[in-house]
Amino acid sequence: MIKKHHYIIFTCVLIIGTLFLLKGRLSKIVTIPESSSIPGRTEPTVDVDNLEIAGKKVIGLNPGTEKEDIRKIKVANHVSKDWEPNLKKTLLAQGGDAVKDLKIQKMDSFVWAQDGIALFVESVIVTIKNNKNAETTFRVLVDAQNGKILRNWDQPVIDPANPKDNFKIRIDPRYHNE
């Protein structure tokens, strides 16, 4: 029968052996560089007087300290042309076979600041048509780099395209102007 102190000794030997084996590998772990040190990428220009970064208005700054806040702000992403296809792919995957058509209409581009971090974002209206030709629209705020939805408004509700088709009682046309 193995005693309790044998378990403790075995566990210690196992931990020490694992650390010894990983010693060489731990020194090879690569750290992720700061966004400004990525080759070929520069920090976007900041216009303090107009409260803009890379020519786009900044929202979400603290009133009264906007100019100080915009000087200290760090931008966490960059604008990419892939955001729209990525958003469309995600929405079509979520909708599955029920989605017949999907349209993305860009409304605005700006920088969204929150807690000293800024994101380039796109404001878009999404229109979805299902297999029964019923349409719904909703608005989303999308990450301009990868197309991930950050916020959404106007929860989508699919209403029937022809609501009168679902009536259980047929209306006699002699008594109605139809």
Question: 45-78 pLDDT, tens per residue?
Answer: 877 777 888 888 988 888 888 888 888 888 889 8
Do the Cβ atoms of 150 and 114 come closer than 8 Å?
Answer: no
- Between CA 79 and CA 13 the distance in angstroms is 51
Which one has a higher pLDDT value, 3 or 113?
A: 113
Nearest to 60 by CA among 126, 133, 150, 173: 150
- Between CA 55 and CA 53 the distance in angstroms is 5
- Between CA 120 and CA 128 the distance in angstroms is 25
| 102 φ, ψ (degrees, to nearest 5) | -140, 125
Angle at 57 between CA 89 and CA 122, to 5 degrees: 10
Q: Partners of 143 in the beta sheet? A: 121
pLDDT tier, 37 (very low <50, low <70, confident <90, very high otherwise): very low
Confirm whether pTM is higher than 0.75: no
Over the stretch 73-86, which tens digit does the pLDDT of each residue have?
888 898 999 999 99
